[in-house]
Chains A and B, each alone.
Chain A
Amino acid sequence: MWGGRKLSSSGSRFLGAHRSPFRGTQADCPRLTTSAAYSKNQLSWTLQIKPSVFSEYRSMCFKSYSMTFACLNRMKSYSLPWTRPYSTSRTTVDSSEVKTFLALAHRWWDEQGVYAPLHSMNDLRVPFIRDNLLKTVADHQPGKPLSGMKILDVGCGGGLLTEPLGRLGASVIGIDPVDENIKTAQHHKSFDPVLDKRIEYRACSLEKIVEETAETFDAVVASEVVEHVIDLEMFIQCCCQVLKPGGSLFITTINKTQLSYALGIVFSEQIAGIVPKGTHTWEKFVSPEKLESILESNGLSVQTVAGMLYNPFSGYWHWSKNTSLNYAAHAVKSSIQEHPAPAEFALKEETEEVRIETSTNSGVHEELKK
């Protein structure tokens, strides 16, 4: 078990570094072949559909994000054709995670099934989101407290959190990289005429919609997602980009502690079966301190961090002062446009260059769309 985890985590780091061509990695890490192939297929499918747009997107994306990471700097000089198989430098989606969730895609809406803890987590996270958003408005309709708000639910899965937010009056866009999840979510909301209008689902990753939805959302919700992404820094940046100034980011995730390993992985997955095996990877858990520092460095001011505790006997969640297992965080994007603090000061001038390039490219991108 340990060996397996180590393999996948080293594999992901490996993918991130891109030190050798694709064929080399196949030989070194046979276990990753299938997942790599999966992402490759996904990628080439996308490429076939919109080649010209994609190449623009790719080059622009390439330039704007590569600045932040020392290792990615190397890719600037890496002139690969656009059929390069790994897009992991530009994506937050971990394809091995995609596979895990694919297997359970049809079980989302069974309230007593495998996703029961997520259903009951709504009792905490919906009021958390609702109450914090209500603080930002002066008045609200009693029946629909979130009406008029635009919310993005990243990693929406089967729409477990998307639907309650829609019922409370918000216009919600739910995105998830797993097609089957989106299908399940679409199907489920199709029976309710009100929700059908208020919610829109898309099978894509966050990076793909950053351009078209820059600064359009009042709130972004990433619940039980950040422990599944490859590149947390990039993920947070994307979240920040799609938020309006003053908009809120809501995250719920699992802390990286010995306790979370013992209870969250060993007990929950292997012994009690509360969480399906292989759902979580302890290395990807994020501590609130680390999350806070990433948030702050991206211009998001942290308002609340609160611990959550699950009682497996009653099936209910409770708020707790202790954040060593699960926790929820609420951060607000600053209203004044600030430059996110770059990882290396030397890159500052280049960053500004990139900004100009980005805006030019987005203009080109839009023209292409038309």
Chain B
Amino acid sequence: MAARLARIRWGTAPAAARRGPLVSCRRWAGASSDTVYDVVVSGGGLVGAAMACALGFGAWDHICNMRYRAFRRMQVWDACSEALIMFDKDNLDDMGCIVENNVIMHALTKQLEAVSDRVTVLYKSKAVSYTWPYPFSMADSSPWVHITLGDGSILQTKLLIGADGHNSGVRQAAGIQNVSWNYDQSAVVATLHLSEATENNVAWQRFLPSGPIALLPLSDTLSSLVWSTSHEHAAELVSMDEEKFVDAVNSAFWSDANHTDFIDSAGSMLQYAVAFLKPTKISARQLPPSVARVDAKSRILFPLGLGHAAEYVRPRLALIGDAAHRVHPLAGQGANMGFGDISSLLHHLRTAAFNGKDLGSMSHLTAYETDRQRHNTALLAATDLLKRLYSTSAAPLVLLRTWGLQATNAVSPLKEQIMAFASK
């Protein structure tokens, strides 16, 4: 499964680590004693592992030694019209990187081993229940969060970080409201082999009426596929034989079956107007490289939906990643938002620790929440809007989005703003 990343910000290991040695215990199995942990991260996926690593410090170096791909350009276009939008930097610098999920996981696991003096990883363990502390009390109740594991052992911690995905057990146990709905779509992911080796530094995405299909470069000959479509179609795609699958992918990118004359002429009209006003940049539609075959057993599917937690934090609790927000992959921002959460939370925890503060104190946790909710809500809303806009082939909406896309494409400063926001 590939994850699209615009830019990973936590590049080099941070210098002066002005924090106390944190024992971050990531839950995946194990036992413990009477110690009180500074932080416990519940959930060992991409974001959970990254948080544990970040609390221990630095993993980018490992990724660089494995497979990843920088991309320079991104083309996004509509199946129902000629409209397209092209993102690139003026001097054709790298816009970002595509890194596969398992590559990141591997790097993080390696890094966790390196910081094992500060971070304890419990593999194959499951949290059964959580006990929250009272707001403030003189009674003999413990002020820490208690996590009961499957094997009966109990972990005590000053701060629990919930990174356990969109069905977060931590969030449910805390009783935090979650606004969510399911899209009638599932995403199919696969690793594809291209017909011929090419420079492969462009990311492609086409909006079909059934959902967007995206091709992301991984190497000169490999690309990653993310195809969001209806549940039935997705199930079909995953179970059909490889040749038919490859054909389906190619035709999804190349076929103009969804074009209508009306929209085409309306589109060209605006195109002339734009060319008249701003004759400098002409984005001619290019075609993505054709696909030859698919990696055996690399096809998987997962359902899509939107989710947003009403609160990201409670006393001694913070939610990060999909536990806090779940988004459609059409903009490739899901994991990125998670990494953004990590970066922000880390920054606030660092300052708090350097001020000798109790890590579970609401004052800095609310600052993290405000920080991220502002950013994430905007992105979530925009992604949801785009998804709905592009899920139809009704003429008025197609016209709207065609003109909208063409207009946005013509306004470079706007595109730069979009790229900057996605790279945060």
- Interface residues in chain A, defined as those with a beta carbon under 8 Å from any beta carbon in chain B: 106, 109-111, 113, 119-120, 122-123, 126-127, 130, 142-145, 163-168, 184, 187-188, 191-193
Contact = CB atoms under 8 A, between A and B. Distances in A.
B152 interface: no
- Which applies to chain A's interface (DSSP): helix, strand, loop or mixed? helix
Contacts of B143: 188, 191
Q: Which 8 A-B pairs have the closest CB atoms?
A: A164-B356, A167-B356, A143-B20, A168-B356, A110-B136, A126-B355, A109-B136, A142-B17
Contact of A142 (B18, B136, B138): B18
A143 B20 CA distance: 4
Interface in B200-215: none
Interface stretch (B186-194, B247-255, B324-332, B357-365): B357-365
7 contacts: A122-B357, A126-B355, A130-B355, A143-B18, A184-B138, A191-B143, A193-B34
A126 B358 CA distance: 13
Contact of A163 (B34, B135, B354, B356): B356
B18 A106 contact: no
Contacts of B142: 191
B138 A192 contact: no
Contacts of B16: 142
Interface in B21-75: 21, 34-36
Contact of A143 (B21, B135, B357, B362): B21
A118 to B, nearest CB: 13
A127 B352 CA distance: 11
Contact of A120 (B136, B356, B358, B363): B363
Contacts of A165: 356
Given A143-B19, A193-B35, A111 B361 contact: yes
A95 to B, nearest CB: 24
A165 B353 CA distance: 11
Interface residues of B, number: 24
Contacts of A126: 355-357
B180 to A, nearest CB: 30
B20 A144 contact: yes
Contact of B362 (A109, A111, A184): A111
B27 to A, nearest CB: 22
A123 B355 contact: yes
B216 to A, nearest CB: 39
Nearest to A144: B20
Given A111-B136, A111-B362, A164 B357 contact: yes
Nearest to B38: A194
A341 B155 CA distance: 58
B365 to A, nearest CB: 11
A144 B21 CA distance: 9
A106 B139 CA distance: 11
Contact of B17 (A113, A143, A166, A188): A143
A370 to B, nearest CB: 37
B13 to A, nearest CB: 13
Given A144-B20, A167-B353, 7 more contacts: A130-B356, A142-B19, A143-B19, A145-B18, A164-B355, A167-B358, A191-B143
A91 B354 CA distance: 36
Interface string B165-177: 0000000000000
B187 to A, nearest CB: 42
B144 interface: yes
A174 to B, nearest CB: 14
